[in-house]
């Protein structure tokens, strides 16, 4: 699931709303990270898994979750980026083999991190079809 999300995020064009709000394209290992949370760069996106419901053998599906955090030196740009991801990924069938749903109506502020930059988070659920 995380690899599919990473591929989707790093494949966004420069005119997509999250890239415009963030001010740069997303590059894995440069400003887009999975399961790690480095102190640099100041502006970055982090994705990590969240627990979900148990797999369904009847419906042949899983419902994993994901947290997407945005750190930005400009709090408005950070919020706008998180909000753009929330809007883009919600009800989006192109992220995984299934559907992506936002758990939050708006981004949630996690406050200032140890580097002095603002953190915002949005959470997602996936309905992933298994075979």
Give pLDDT tens digits for 70-111: 999 999 999 999 999 999 999 888 888 778 899 989 999 999
Length of the chain counted residue by residue: 131
Task: Report d(CA 17, CA 23) in Å as an integer.
Answer: 10
Six-digit token string for 12 = 């966004």
Task: Report d(CA 79, CA 82) in Å as an integer.
Answer: 5
pTM of the model: 0.90
pLDDT in tens, 23-77: 999 999 999 999 999 999 999 999 999 877 777 778 777 888 999 999 999 999 9
- In the chain the domains, ranked by start, together with CATH numbers, are 2-129 (3.30.2000.10)
């Amino acid at each position: 699931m995380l690899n599919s999300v990473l591929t989707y995020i790093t494949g966004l064009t420069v005119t997509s709303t999250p890239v415009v709000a963030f001010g740069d394209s997303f590059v894995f290992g440069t400003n887009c990270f999975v399961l790690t949370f480095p102190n640099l760069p100041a502006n970055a996106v982090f994705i990590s898994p969240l627990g979900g419901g148990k797999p369904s053998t009847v419906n042949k599906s899983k419902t994993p979750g994901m947290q997407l955090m945005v750190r930005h030196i400009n709090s408005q740009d950070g919020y706008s980026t998180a909000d753009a991801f929330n809007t883009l990924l919600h009800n989006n069938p192109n992220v995984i083999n299934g559907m992506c749903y936002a758990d939050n109506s708006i981004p949630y502020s996690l406050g200032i991190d140890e580097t002095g930059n603002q953190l915002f988070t949005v959470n997602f659920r996936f309905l992933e079809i298994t075979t």
